[in-house]
Amino acid sequence: MKLKSCLLIACLALQSFLFLPRAHADEASEKAVFDYCLPKAEAGDAICQFDIGIIYEFGRGGVTQDYAQAVVWYRKAAEQGNVKAQTNLGAMYRNGNGVPQDYALAVVWYRKAAEQGDSYAQFSLGLSYDNGKGVPQDNAEAVVWYRKAAIQGVAKAQNNLAILYANGEGVPQNWFNAYLIASLAAVSGESNGVKIRDLVAAKLTPAEQAEAQKLSNDWKVGTKLPLR
């Protein structure tokens, strides 16, 4: 049985959306954020630069959607070390929004954010290695970054890590670990986690399934994965 990591690639299209800075009640409040943040962003405030980038990327607060302007502001914030701006800038390069598509530059910015501990950047970097986009294909490196994101509760990273364990790609094949990690994703409401877990279940005894399920139920985000 060979599971397919590529089933989960579509989530990258939503990558930037994960980092909306706040829930705006309406257009008026979003416009107020833009008016407040623009002069601060122009003066070098990295948080406001990131917020202005978000507003341009999604065309909020009466501002016309403009990917190129979003890239300008994300870059300003990213170059000051703003982690979420680095991740979003990576996504812009990966998707070719506002800049020519460039997987290698996407990896550069994902790595900067991932090395500061950003879980979605870690997932994206793992996906880059998994699919050989911007870096040589390397399942072992994919495992490293998926695991970091999985520990922080990123369900899509858990899905892909479970697949690699099931297929023995980048790690020795281990059905127990695959089942356990897929169960973690399933608990988060990921339908793919349920599918992966159910596919792997036939490889385990009922006792092994029960043990893995208990370990996954007891696991807490931010702690080491209870793998065999």
Helix orientation angle between 191-201 and 175-187, rounded to the nearest 10 degrees: 150
88-108 burial, b if ≥16 CB within 10 A, otherwise e?
A: bbbbbbbbebbbeeebebbbe
Q: Map out the domains of the chain as residue ranges.
A: 20-116
User: In this predicted model, what pLDDT tens digit does every residue of 73-117 receive, in sequence order?
Assistant: 999 999 999 999 999 999 999 999 999 999 999 999 999 999 999
User: In this predicted model, what pLDDT tens digit does every residue of 140-156 receive, in sequence order?
Assistant: 999 999 999 999 999 99
User: In this predicted model, what pLDDT tens digit does every residue of 45-73 receive, in sequence order?
Assistant: 999 999 999 999 999 989 999 999 999 99
CA atoms within 13 A on the CB side of 58: 22
21 compared with 202, residue with greater pLDDT? 202
> pLDDT grade, residue 27 (50/70/90)?
confident
Looking at residue 4, its pLDDT comes to 52
Does 189 score more than 90 pLDDT?
no
**Cα–Cα distance for residue pair 177/137, rounded to 1 Å:** 23
> pLDDT grade, residue 28 (50/70/90)?
confident
Choose the CATH number for 20-116 among 1.25.40.10, 1.10.10.10, 3.40.309.10, 3.40.50.720: 1.25.40.10
Residue 35 near residue 66 (C-beta atoms within 8 A): no
Does 199 score more than 60 pLDDT?
yes
- 3-state secondary structure string, the chain? CCCCHHHHHHHHHHCHHHHCCCCCCCHHHHHHHHHHHHHHHHCCCHHHHHHHHHHHHHCCCCCCCCHHHHHHHHHHHHCCCCHHHHHHHHHHHHHCCCCCCCHHHHHHHHHHHHHCCCHHHHHHHHHHHHHCCCCCCCHHHHHHHHHHHHHCCCHHHHHHHHHHHHHCCCCCCCHHHHHHHHHHHHHCCCHHHHHHHHHHHCCCCHHHHHHHHHHHHHCCCCCCCCCC
Looking at residue 190, its pLDDT comes to 87
**Cα–Cα distance for residue pair 38/84, rounded to 1 Å:** 18
The pTM of this model reads 0.87
